[in-house]
Structure formats: structure tokens, C-alpha cells
Chain A
Amino acid sequence: MEAIYAHPKSLKPIQTKYCPGCGHGVIHRLIAEVIDELGVQEKSVLLNPVGCSIWADLYFDFDSVQVPHGRTPAGATGIKRMLPDHLVICYQGDGDLAAIGTGEAVHAANRGEKFTTIFVNNAIYGMTGGQMAPTTLVGQKATTAPFGRDPVDAGMGYPVKVLEMLATLEGTKYLARGAVNNVVNVRKTKQYIKKAFEAQLRGEGFTMVEILSQCPTNWGMDPVESNAWLESSMMPVFKLGVLKDELSVSANKEAGK
């Protein structure tokens, strides 16, 4: 009998603080699996943002740096410039990236910084208890959109499509959107992450994988319902797939296996 699906090495075998069903846990595992497969645990550095995944440094078993809310791409820039041969992972939520840190995200992308951003889009502020996020859907309820996000009368704006926005910047070389709400999407998302990490290690950048992720607690649903809602409501707004792939051709053949 052989264990074919077991705990990744670069993820510590401890229980996380994340809520039951939370997508962060799956995303952490995918990152750790790819790092194990690429054998780069000893030269990986993660930026853990302010948000639920502020705890990521407790769970990943490699170096991490934590900068103020929204400044993660700036911190990652500083790290990657000093450690160009390292795998630098800029782990962000939708508040961190698309609200307070929009400036940092846009300019790091525009500079073509060679780190990889893992952008966890759960359409809500999780850690602080369910406020409206830049990616909250129109009509979706939040503690700060108690009657649902209303872009018209209440001027609450529309869900920000980050990858589509960043795709216009020449510095971005690989942008893909996955999800962790079912097995097929989990496996596809892992491939996106792997391709982005491999690109980074080849010195190509800027790479970003956006991952639609369920937040049962703040969506007010149980985990199974959350995964269904993610598909029925979020996916029509945030289309899955590879939005941009300008990685070197040779890489595509090699990665196309």
C-alpha cells in the first residue's frame, strides 16, 4: 500500500486557523505541492498579506516576510530584486490587492517584477468579518453593503476584474484565473500555479494566478453551498482560464506535457 496523496513537505502538518471549508487551505496545499515538485523549498520566500492569510507564515515551512496591508507587491519587489534566483510568492487577498494595494499591484505588474502573485479572490473581507471587497458582486450582501452591493444608487462600484485590468500592462506575461470549488478546478489551478512558478524560476515575469475561493463564514453559507454559489454567481463575473500567456515558446512546449 503506497500513499499517493499525502501531506506536502513544505507545508507544516498543523491545523490552520482558517474556517471549515475555507479555500485558503486548499490554495496553501497547492502552493506547497508545486514547491515540493520543483524542489525549491529552501529558496522560496512568501509574502503573507494582512487578511485571513496573515497566518500563512505559520503554515508554510519556508521563509516569509509580512509588510503593511496592500504593500505586499512592494515588499515582494524588494525581496525579488535582492534574491533574483529565489521563488518569491506574493500571496494576497482581494482587499490587499484590489483595494488599498491597487497602486502597488498595478506598478509591480507594469514593471514586470519577476515574482508570482497568488491572488485569492473570495469577494469579501474575511479577517475583519465580512465587509464589501472590490470584488464583491453586485447585489451580494456584506456588513458594509447590508442591502447588497449597489453601484447605482449607493455608488458602491462594480466588481473589479483584476486580471483583465492588468492584462493591458506589457509587464505582465502570464495571467490565469482558477478556482478551488471543485476537484477539476483545483487540479487546473495547480497547473496554473506550476506554470507561473516555473516561469518565475526561468526569470520571466510578471506572473499572477487569481483563484476564486470560497468563504463560507462571511458568505453565510455552509461549505458545500459556498462552492456551488462560487460557481453559479462568481464564475459568470470572473471568467476562468488563461487570460494572457506571453511566456517563452519553448516553455509552452515543455510545459505542455
Chain B
Amino acid sequence: MAQEKRLMKGNEAMGEAAVRAGCQAYFGYPITPQNELTAYMARHMIEKKRTFIQAESETSAINMVFGAASTGSRAMTSSSSPGISLKQEGISFSCGADLPLVIINVQRAGPGLGGIAPAQGDYFQATRGGGHGDYYHLVLAPKSVQEAADLTYEAFDLAEQWRMPVMVLADGMIGQMMEGVSFKEPKDPAKMPRKPWAVGHQKNREANHIASTQLDPEKFNIVIDERFRRYDEIKAKMQRYEEQECADADLVLVAYGTSARVSLGAMQMARELGLKVGMFRPITLWPFPEKRLSELADPKRKFLCVEMSKGQMIQDVRLTLNGRSEVSFFGRSGGLIPTEEDLLAEIRRILNK
């Protein structure tokens, strides 16, 4: 029955995917535009006799996730931009303790209280680490309800495989819109193998201490270096992207999530006008898909980065292309979504066609 398609909101689809991935504990807090996700988890986690808590704050919620994850259980929290800011210390600690857990950020317009309309202004926070210290974690960026469900479902496996938090970075539009979606087979949390590093059930093993403290700089440096070797391995194996008609493109649109949907439309309109435009869509924002993007670098090819912000991913695009191609930016902030027509006009301006 797994493949039967349903019309669902992105937020609820991510909830269903988490439940099917065997999420044993969800800790949330109300914040628009992801409230349907928290409500969905309330109903379905309680029904399945799993743990659901509406915490007293996002700060508390991420630390509940930390506690649950330290027992080796699959645990998740979700929020939106301001709430994700409150979770940054907890995320830094989770990375510092190599704890697998899942965080969903349904982005809204910032800074400050900002607006509740969709935006992509949390790119830096997500990919550079909004907390303190040297750390990174996987960031997956869906562009559709189906992909939001698939990436959430997979996030739990990736978190355990790489021993780190995994963030699904959606936005208000993906969370609020309804699209057809099908789900993979549900996993039974009871059948999940116990983790040797986890706390609890301490039978003939040394005590496990889950912490991120290390006051001896020599030792701490070694621990961090080891973690960064794992980051390098992730960069080598986990760069994911989608590419459309870039081979002959004079101009490549670089965009993720909702911006990529708009870019796809503008690309098709441009192609109909005979303009050679392609699109490069990062799916993993960390690790940024630099390998393939770098291969597309060409002095004769231009790049146009499309974001719902004042331009953040563009820095990774520039770093990757390293001056070998011209890169420009087109975007809207404040919760506005760029239109295909406006983007097409910018494409034509750049290609002066």
C-alpha cells in the first residue's frame, strides 16, 4: 500500500514521513508556518503510543530531542526560523556529541519576528552553523511535498549513518501547499538495533557518557579533527543536486527549494524563446554540490543565483566557481516569491536578448 498517492500539505507529509521512518519521540512548539506538522505529530505519535511533547519553548524542545537521541532513539523537532534560532545552542551541542537527530526548519521571512510568508534567509544559519564552534551538519532542501517527505524519511537514516543532526530546510510554501505524495514502508522503532554508544540498558559494558565537554585542548583538537575527517567523507559521498539542460547553457540558474520551482518555469519560458538557459538545483545545501557545479564553470557561461533572500547561497556559488564564470543574483526578500516573468526579464537582460 506504500505507493498509493495522497493529496497532502507539505507539513503533514513531513510528519507522516517521520512517523514512517520510526520516529519514537517528537518535541515541538507552536510557530507559523509549520503548525500543521506539530499537530500532525500530536495525533499520530499519541495514536501509536510514541512520545509527543509540546515543549515550553523551542530551546527546551531541542534539548528533549538531545535527551531522547542519547538513548539511541529516533527523535525529531520542527520549527520555523525564529524557533530554529532558539535551537542553535542545542544543535551545536548535538554536533559536539555526535548525536543523530532530525530538525525540520519551515523557513519564514526574517530577521526578527519578520513575517510568516516563505523565505530562504536561514541558509547561512543552516549551512554555516548558527551555533558556536566548528561544526557542520547535513542540510537537505526539498522543492516539493514529495521530496519533503522523502528527505524527511531518509534524514533519520542519514543522521544515524553519519552520527549527526540532519536538517530538512523547507519553507512556508512547501510546508503549506498541497501536492500528491506517496510514502515508503513504515519502519517499526521496536525493531531498530540498539546503538553501542547510547545510554541505557548498561549490561556488561562500560558506562557511556554523552557530552560535548572537553577541557583539554590537545584532546579536543583530536576529537574535532576526527569529526572533520568525517565531514570530508560526507563531502565526498553526499553531494546531491538536480541538473536541467546545463550542457549547452549560456546561463545557468542556481536555486534550491521554492526558488528552484520558479527557476524551472522561467528556464522553460526562456528555452521557448530560443535562449540557452539551464538550471542547477542543490538538494544538499551542506555538503554544497561544489564538485558538479565546478565542472560547469566556463568563461563563456554565466550563472544567475535565484533566492528568496538578499543572497546567501550565492556566496557558495562564487566560492565554487572561483572567478571562472560571472555570477549575478536575483531575489526577493521579506516573504516575496520571485515570479517567473520577473526572472525571465532578468534572464533576457543578462543575455541581452
Contact = CB atoms under 8 A, between A and B. Distances in A.
- A/B touching: CB–CB < 8 A: yes
B213 A68 contact: no
B200 A104 contact: no
Given A64-B199, A64-B210, A71 B63 contact: yes
A67 B93 contact: yes
Interface in A68-85: 68, 71, 74-83
A86 to B, nearest CB: 6
B334 interface: no
Interface string A72-116: 001111111111001000000000000000011011000100000
B254 interface: no
Interface string B35-69: 00000000000000001010111011101111111
Contact of A104 (B56, B202, B207, B211): B56
A48 B67 CA distance: 12
Given A63-B200, A63-B202, A74 B209 contact: no
B90 A65 contact: no
B256 to A, nearest CB: 30
A107 B60 contact: yes
A54 interface: yes
Contacts of A82: 24-25, 51, 67-68, 71, 73, 75, 200
Q: Which secondary structure dominates where chain B touches chain A?
A: mixed
A7 interface: no
A61 interface: yes
Given A57-B209, A107-B60, A83 B27 contact: no
Interface of B: 24-25, 27, 51, 53, 55-57, 59-61, 63-71, 73, 75, 89-90, 93, 97, 199-203, 207-213
Given A77-B67, A79-B200, A82-B24, 15 more contacts: A42-B201, A43-B201, A43-B202, A48-B211, A62-B207, A65-B66, A66-B210, A68-B63, A68-B90, A68-B93, A71-B90, A75-B64, A79-B70, A82-B67, A83-B200
Interface of A: 41-43, 45, 47-48, 54, 57, 60-68, 71, 74-83, 86, 103-104, 106-107, 111
